Chains A and B, each alone.
Chain A
Amino acid sequence: MSKALTWPVAVVFALLAIVPLVPGVSRYHLLLAFDALLFGAIAMSLDLLIGYTGLVSFGHAAFYGLGAYATAVLLERGVLSLWACVAFAVVVVGLYALVVSYFATARRGIYFALLTLIFAEVVYTFFRYTQTFGGSDGIQGLPDAALFPGVLIDTPARKYYLVLVYLLFAWIVCRVVVASHFGRVLVAIRENEDRARFLGYNVQRYKMGACMISALLTGIGGAIYPIRSAFATPDLMVWTESGEFIISVMIGGLGTLVGPIIGGAFFTLLRDKVSSVVDWYFLVIGAVLVFIVLFMPRGLLGLRRLVRLRRGRAPA
């Protein structure tokens, strides 16, 4: 991590950490902040795939939902340990991601988008119609998870800190990947796949790697969700949810990592506020997407950094 960015990052996380202590911040606000930061973190992990590797995943909600069900299944049976849930989610999502990424990266171009979409749809259909997992109502009424035996993650403040730790973890992983040799090859693949191949890189393996990392980060995010919501439902995996992740990345700005966090947070807050008042917010979202693609492909923070990268400067 370059020095230039650690100070602002540390400040931001410190500020975020004292939010629960600010007077006037209610339980409801903390839960909302939880949703916003979770969504932002997942959008960031998706950016690794879309912005850095150039692969559009339309099925990211499946990684998210699988992680959630993994936790839900354990909590339902009385396994309350947070670590067990996360570990189980990693295994489940990892296996699924392995299969998906293998098939999706086997051919070029839009195959990836189509196959991630179709796989996600099947996962959704499976969970929606399988009664063992609660069918369309999902698994509900889950107990609180435990950090250590006896220490429950039960108050909104504790849940908030959990997601903050997750965000920090995801951020570090993404920064490390992006700054590494692996990350640079990903960018090379995005820029010109053939050239990367001629240079001797096993392109499919790199693509799979990027997909796995992104999927696992998202899956861990999904694993945390039932701790806040006390349920896991198939609707977490519906393809429009994948679309919302993509929207967050686009709003925030491709290839910037920070942008999608803000995009995701902004989108969550917007959705919560607006959907109570008006039911056409999806129309606005769609229009915003079209608008962004046509006139503002840079999103809020933009592709500036990628442009800088292309000109040979080291990533900031």
Chain B
Amino acid sequence: MDYLLAVLLPQLLHGLVFGAALGLLALGLTVIFGLLGVMNFAHGELFMLGAYAGLGVIGATGSFWTALVAAPLLVGLVAAVTEVATLRPVYHREPLYGLILTFGLALVFREGVRQLWGGDMRRILPPFPGSTPLLGMTYPDYRLFLLAASAVVLLSIWLFFTRTRAGIIVRAAVQDAEMLDGLGVNVRRVFTLTFAASGALAALAGLLLAPVFTVYPQMGVEMILLAFIVVILGGMGSLGGSVAAAFIIGVAQSLFSLWMNPQRVAIAIFGIMIVVLIVRPRGLYGREGVLE
């Protein structure tokens, strides 16, 4: 029982937090893919840019909370500009070009950041450094805050997708993008806005996680691989599936780290993905034919 509380529960909490951040990333990926037909290899870099933008804003204003608002906006802007300048021309081309393009963009973002801020790790101090004795272990307050914050964000997104007109349209368009045109919507603008919004979400996740994981240029690379697994697991085109899978993977990863060499956890996660692919190839909630 002691073990359960002192060791298991904190890990579970941590897994939920991580899963939430992963969910934000995977959601963005799925939406972009469904809507624009592009698998955004640079998505992890948007996550990373969020953390660095946060660094910049905190450096200029000294306030973490200002950064929490400003950084996603800044990254959203960067994403919008990138979409217009580089992605738009390749929508009509073979999908392999989009893949290679976003791969190149990822390199540019990552190395650009490395040149500007240096390759070593930077720290963003949590806005409140205290800790709470929780169930036998002293748990940092910031991690508790993260839990609450990610719950709020995910809830807002859920509300957006189910209660607002814009959200419902985007959700439907993710299933069938041609329909957008038929509804008389300005397709180009929706694409750009959606890309910008998913970038902003990724950035938010990046900044929220930064005080825990520290800020370094490779942080996006590590998240994106997990995000891909989440997307495959949850089923392409399913928003709910992405989030559900993200939590499953997040918690699984956290708990597995307790019982096996944390290094081998990645292999275990991967094993889960393979099993699901064999048993249920379209993922948890995926729909047939969504990939074309």
Contact = CB atoms under 8 A, between A and B. Distances in A.
Pairing of A with B:
yes
Contacts of A246: 100, 103
A290 B229 contact: no
Contact of A286 (B89, B106, B225, B263): B106
Interface in B97-116: 97, 99-101, 103-112, 114-115
B100 A56 contact: yes
Interface stretch (A75-83, A225-233, A258-266, A277-285): A277-285
B97 A107 contact: no
B104 A289 contact: yes
A114 B39 contact: yes
Contacts of A58: 99, 103
A169 interface: no
Nearest to B96: A56
Contacts of B33: 110
Interface residues of B, number: 43
Contact of A117 (B109, B228, B264, B273): B228
A314 interface: no
B167 interface: no
Interface residues of A, number: 38
B267 A107 contact: no
A246 B292 CA distance: 23
Contacts of B105: 286, 290
B99 to A, nearest CB: 5
B230 to A, nearest CB: 11
A108 interface: yes
B146 interface: no
B164 interface: no
Nearest to B38: A110
B266 A125 contact: yes
Interface in B77-108: 86, 89-90, 93-97, 99-101, 103-108
A287 interface: yes
B289 to A, nearest CB: 9
Contacts of B281: 106-107
Contact of B111 (A113, A129, A286): A286
A192 to B, nearest CB: 11
Given A115-B232, A118-B273, 15 more contacts: A58-B103, A103-B274, A108-B292, A109-B95, A111-B291, A114-B228, A122-B267, A122-B270, A125-B263, A243-B103, A280-B114, A287-B104, A289-B107, A294-B90, A297-B93
Interface of B: 33, 39, 86, 89-90, 93-97, 99-101, 103-112, 114-115, 221, 225, 228-229, 231-232, 261, 263-264, 266-267, 270, 273-274, 277, 281, 291-292
Interface of A: 50, 54, 56, 58, 103, 106-111, 113-115, 117-118, 121-122, 125-126, 128-129, 239, 243, 246, 250, 280, 282-283, 285-290, 293-294, 297
